[in-house]
Amino acid sequence: MLKIVVCVSGGGTNLQAIIDSIEAGKVTNAEIMAVISNNADAKALDRARNHGIEGICLSPKDYETRDAFNEAFTTTMVAMNPDLIVLAGFLVKIPEAMVAAFPGKIINIHPSLIPSFCGVGYYGLKVHEKALARGVKVTGATVHYVDGGMDTGPIIAQKAVYVQPGDTPEVLQRRVMEEAEWILLPQAIDDIANGRI
């Protein structure tokens, strides 16, 4: 059984997609042992608790320095010892010590077709604003392994989504979630849990 910790900053729609896929049997040999958020008010923590999953808030705001937070975050994760760490809309850079402690065991979902619209400053709605401003006809989502950079780890899977005339960033964001993110991330977890990756 693959033990997973999911890290989320906001609403937790990708978390919900994972939970739903596990409960429906679409993702097998995997269980979420905890959800960690840097935001005490994150709806994702409510989603976790509603499904009997431990919800933990670890916020940089609660520490005097970023280094102190990074150390506490890494220590907490090492103590939990998950088989896989899933970043599902987590707006905190993963500490280098954590990347080193979990090589090849951290994955992230990003709302574009990497290498487009990724890296520092590209998160959430900003990704879709930039895609629309650039005039791309196709966008999508990418699941990738996490390394020491920002959105630079090896790609696991990608799914394209067409941009429609009249799209706003909010409309495009929702379509990318529905047509790509909520499909790709559970699939990647199932593939990892069942030895296909």
List residues with catalytic annotation: 110
Cα–Cα dist 60/64, whole Å: 8
Single out the residue of 46, 54, 101 nearest to residue 75, CA to CA: 101
Cα–Cα dist 90/56, whole Å: 13
**Distances 187 to 17, 48, 102, 109 between C-alpha atoms, Å:** 10, 20, 21, 12
Q: How many Cα atoms sit within 13 Å of 76 on the Cβ side?
A: 20
Cα–Cα dist 150/50, whole Å: 32
